[in-house]
Structure 1
Amino acid sequence: MPVDQTRSRVDGYDFRAPDSWDQFADVVALAYGGYAAVPEYRKIIGDIFEPKRSLLAHRAGETCATLALYSLDMSVPGGRQPIAGIGYVTVDPTHRRRGLMRGLLQRTLAGLYDRGEEAVAALHTTEPAIYGRFGFGSATRAVRIRIPRASRELTAPRTDPPTDPPPPVRVLDPARCGAEITRLYEHAIDRRPGMLRRDDTWMRRAVLDLPERRGGAGRLLCMLAGADDGEPARGYALYALTARWENSYPRYEVNVRELFANDPAAYASLWRALLDVDLGGTVVADRPVDDAVLALLDDPRSAAPVARDQLYTRPVDVGRALAGRGYGAEVDLVLAVADPICPWNEGRWRLRTGAHEAECARTSAPADLALTVRELGAVYLGGASLTQLAAAGRVVEHRAGALRAATRAFHHDPAPFCPTVF
């Protein structure tokens, strides 16, 4: 049954799909500080852009608000699922406080549900407090680490056989090793939830290095571990140096954009090489909250880790979303879900998980847990804890033991992580 779209109307504005990125560009630039995109960046954003899926608010011949929608493929507990990626949600400052953001989001989510498309939506946000109101929960976290060069003593990983030397590391221009980066990243996708598959266009964006967008850093460089004598590389790191001086001594920041490796030895070799960069003072990186580098450091406190929110997700269709992921334990639970933004999700849902598949369907049985769709979004990738959310008063347990069982089922190890911003 088609969803009623009257709730997403805003008087005086027309919502429609744009013809191209050009209809978004000016409003997006204004929303992000007024910086005009250089032609090369504008082209690659335009290549990624999906105009038929995106939405703008239009009035009197002008674009007043924007929402880009991307067709993404993401690793989730148990496999991969199509995800609706939301980006560039902006409103012209002269049209604020009129319900345009709400209208764009409601219309987009209702359209996804009505057409039977992606069951889950996801976004990165510059203002986290806004999107909880629309049912998006904090699903992944990153930890910012700042490792001083003085802390470069790392625990030696065990190897098999024990006599294997650490793989050598070479520094190259990323343009010369695109195939290796693509292969190694693809190998990493299914290791933890939250990772996005990248086609050629998304991969070009991942290694894009425009002087205008370096923020004072040098050019992007790539380290490859284990790529000698014709052997394939076993790991890579993308990084750039930012000049810093202390008391006339160089203390450059080594800013790591990405680092992935196929095995512990290659992983450790990359970190050793980063901590040994000439003129380097501190290695800075955003990593998964359970990243192995914190176990490699002899002095993990020296990294001064600071956790922050990262990706936000929300079910568009609760039944399909919960049935489409894997679980860490078998459960039979009834969830009472509240979702004022997407009312078709309201009600009680019975979730039954088995060894290889899950079912989630409407039920009239009494609820075991009560929560909003925001909490379901937070635990969808297995990073957030239902027990923690209950302690904050955001989940209510109606049957003893249901909370503990649900927490075990939704949890995933390793923790989710999403290094690709969209």
Structure 2
Amino acid sequence: MRHAPRTLSHVCEVPLPVDQTRSRVDGYDFRAPDSWDQFADVVALAYGGYEAVPEYRKIIGDIFEPKRSLLAHRAGETCATLALYSLDMSVPGGRQPIAGIGYVTVDPTHRRRGLMRDLIRRTLTGLHDRGEEAVAALHTTEPAIYGRFGFGSATRAVRIRIPRSSRELSTRPPAAPTDPPPSVRVLDPARCGAEITRIYEHAIDRRPGMPRRDGTWMRRALLDLPERRGGAGRLLCMLAGADDGEPATGYALYSLTAHWENSYPRYEVHVRELFANDPTAYVNLWRALLDIDLGGTVIADRPVDDAILALLDDPRSAAPVARDQLYTRPVDVARALAGRGYGAEVDLVLAVADPICPWNVGRWRLRTGTYEGECARTSAPADLALTVRELGAVHLGGTSLTQLAAAGRVVEHRAGALRAATRAFHHDPAPFCPTVF
């Protein structure tokens, strides 16, 4: 039996009035930039006026895609920016082209004029009209801003701080006293870029939310400028399982920050990345990080279901704190939902509202098989009502539709539809995005 429809403005099935979706910005010229240099000054102002050193500016310029990006221009000056990146990202069931949005900035003297909204609207409209990426994603410095543009919180990270007193690991069976020490070497990351790339590439398809890195993106991931270390030492790399000519099966990128307590060294060990292709390499890397000479607290941002929380004898001591990470939203609902895999078979109708992209508004029938789905418009009654923000939040499989419904953000019109949809969209392991763009 269907529930009586509920009337909620955020799950309506009609487009917003025209004057809310069209540009309210007059006197500005929107166009693609010629190069990163046209972005640089506005970006620097938006992020506090810090001057980018030449090496950093070059690597940002190398990954920049000027033909896909957009700026607002007036009276010979750049007033607002939006960079667009062509990403290949892991999603449930495989990989999917993702439009990565970054450096959305507005000159301080041009704020409060709708420039940010217009840049995003124009970008999403262009992607749709050209039939390009069906999903857009971004990282945000201010999460409250992007929900109104349809972006939902899709991945989360947990910050852990493992103190020196909590180094014991719950490995089973325990290592015997006669066992050889773990095979872990410390190297300059510049010497092992190929191994890091290979291990990272192997890890992509196991966890949604991880973008593929070509050579330029990997150079950015390994960038280690003294001006950006925040007082830490140089970046180091641990490779696990690399003895006797065998390839490494795990790596950790980390640095140390000097810290002393009562004349005792208690250096902070900051883990930038850690990926391993097997449990042995994973455990050996953590064992080595927790046993660094002079080391005190080990600090890392990890997936919310990372095995380190099960590996520690005393996980409470790590004081895990969860935070939001990547935000995604469908550019084209039908192609976005058909482009990912599913964990259960469902046949349901979604009533979707979208404040920016009117072509997404309406009812969509989603039918999923094993690891695939198809989605098309329908006139059938809705089973669930939600906005693209909720679809973005669940796209990578880490956010629960049931949780969103408990918050009043999803409405169930057919009993059982919510539970079935939650199972279908869920992915294990949880999504995680190690790359900020």
> Same-fold call, TM > 0.5?
yes
Offset of residue 249 of structure 1: 1.7
The alpha-carbon distance between structure 1 residues 336 and 109, as it changes in their structure 2 partners (threshold 3 A), is: same
Offset of residue 8 of structure 1: 3.1
Task: Give unpaired runs (5+ residues) of structure 2.
Answer: 1-15
Conservation of the 8 A alpha-carbon contact between 1:157 and 1:264: no
Conservation of the 8 A alpha-carbon contact between 1:166 and 1:265: no
Conservation of the 8 A alpha-carbon contact between 2:255 and 2:271: yes
Tell me the alpha carbon deviations over residues 177-224 of structure 1, each in whole angstroms, 9 at most, x when there is no partner. Answer: 111100000010001100110000000000000001101110000000
Q: Secondary structure at the match of 2:125?
A: helix
The alpha-carbon distance between structure 1 residues 49 and 133, as it changes in their structure 2 partners (threshold 3 A), is: same
Distance in 2, Cα, partners of 1:157 & 1:288: 22
Q: Secondary structure at the match of 1:187?
A: helix
Conservation of the 8 A alpha-carbon contact between 2:80 and 2:106: yes
Conservation of the 8 A alpha-carbon contact between 1:2 and 1:114: no
The alpha-carbon distance between structure 1 residues 157 and 47, as it changes in their structure 2 partners (threshold 3 A), is: farther
Q: Secondary structure at the match of 1:126?
A: coil
1:257 corresponds to 2:245: no
The alpha-carbon distance between structure 1 residues 367 and 6, as it changes in their structure 2 partners (threshold 3 A), is: closer
Distance in 1, Cα, partners of 2:317 & 2:304: 16
Q: Secondary structure at the match of 1:8?
A: coil
Deviates more, 1:244-253 or 1:400-409: 244-253
Offset of residue 2 of structure 1: 19
Tell me the residue number matched to 1:306. 321
Tell me the alpha carbon deviations over residues 225-270 of structure 1, each in whole angstroms, 9 at most, x when there is no partner. Answer: 1111111111000000011122222211100000001111110110
Offset of residue 156 of structure 1: 1.7
The alpha-carbon distance between structure 1 residues 417 and 372, as it changes in their structure 2 partners (threshold 3 A), is: same
Percent identical? 91
Offset of residue 4 of structure 1: 12
The alpha-carbon distance between structure 1 residues 363 and 303, as it changes in their structure 2 partners (threshold 3 A), is: same
Deviates more, 1:241-250 or 1:177-186: 241-250
1:62 corresponds to 2:112: no
The alpha-carbon distance between structure 1 residues 26 and 420, as it changes in their structure 2 partners (threshold 3 A), is: same
Conservation of the 8 A alpha-carbon contact between 1:5 and 1:110: no
Q: Over aligned residue pairs, what C-alpha RMSD do you find? A: 2.3
Conservation of the 8 A alpha-carbon contact between 1:335 and 1:371: yes
Tell me the alpha carbon deviations over residues 385-422 of structure 1, each in whole angstroms, 9 at most, x when there is no partner. Answer: 00000000000000000000000000000000000000
State how 1:15-414 maps to structure 2 within 5 Å.
15-157=30-172, 167-414=182-429
Distance in 2, Cα, partners of 1:150 & 1:160: 20
Offset of residue 357 of structure 1: 2.4
Offset of residue 132 of structure 1: 0.2
The alpha-carbon distance between structure 1 residues 80 and 4, as it changes in their structure 2 partners (threshold 3 A), is: farther
Conservation of the 8 A alpha-carbon contact between 2:21 and 2:355: no
Conservation of the 8 A alpha-carbon contact between 2:21 and 2:356: no
Distance in 2, Cα, partners of 1:162 & 1:3: 73
Deviates more, 1:2-11 or 1:115-124: 2-11
Conservation of the 8 A alpha-carbon contact between 1:18 and 1:51: yes
Deviates more, 1:191-200 or 1:157-166: 157-166
Distance in 2, Cα, partners of 1:417 & 1:149: 27
The alpha-carbon distance between structure 1 residues 158 and 311, as it changes in their structure 2 partners (threshold 3 A), is: farther
Q: Please identify runs of 4+ aligned residues in structure 1 that moved more than 6 A.
A: 1-6, 159-164
Tell me the alpha carbon deviations over residues 138-195 of structure 1, each in whole angstroms, 9 at most, x when there is no partner. Answer: 0000000000121111012559999986641111000111111000000100011001
Offset of residue 9 of structure 1: 5.5
Conservation of the 8 A alpha-carbon contact between 2:249 and 2:281: yes
Offset of residue 6 of structure 1: 8.4
Tell me the alpha carbon deviations over residues 36-74 of structure 1, each in whole angstroms, 9 at most, x when there is no partner. Answer: 100000000000000000000000000000000000000
Distance in 1, Cα, partners of 2:295 & 2:346: 51
The alpha-carbon distance between structure 1 residues 231 and 163, as it changes in their structure 2 partners (threshold 3 A), is: farther
Deviates more, 1:193-202 or 1:242-251: 242-251
Distance in 1, Cα, partners of 2:376 & 2:78: 40
Offset of residue 279 of structure 1: 1.0
Conservation of the 8 A alpha-carbon contact between 2:208 and 2:432: yes
Distance in 2, Cα, partners of 1:81 & 1:403: 25
The alpha-carbon distance between structure 1 residues 197 and 379, as it changes in their structure 2 partners (threshold 3 A), is: same
Conservation of the 8 A alpha-carbon contact between 1:224 and 1:237: yes
Normalising by structure 2, we get a TM-score of 0.94
Task: Give unpaired runs (5+ residues) of structure 1.
Answer: none
Deviates more, 1:396-405 or 1:225-234: 225-234
The alpha-carbon distance between structure 1 residues 266 and 203, as it changes in their structure 2 partners (threshold 3 A), is: same
Distance in 2, Cα, partners of 1:63 & 1:123: 22
Tell me the alpha carbon deviations over residues 337-389 of structure 1, each in whole angstroms, 9 at most, x when there is no partner. Answer: 00021111000000000124211000000000000000000000000000000
The alpha-carbon distance between structure 1 residues 164 and 186, as it changes in their structure 2 partners (threshold 3 A), is: farther
Q: Secondary structure at the match of 1:337?
A: strand
Conservation of the 8 A alpha-carbon contact between 2:384 and 2:411: yes
Deviates more, 1:105-114 or 1:152-161: 152-161
Q: Secondary structure at the match of 1:144?
A: strand
Normalising by structure 1, we get a TM-score of 0.97
Deviates more, 1:160-169 or 1:334-343: 160-169
Deviates more, 1:365-374 or 1:225-234: 225-234
Q: Secondary structure at the match of 1:419?
A: coil
The alpha-carbon distance between structure 1 residues 348 and 165, as it changes in their structure 2 partners (threshold 3 A), is: farther
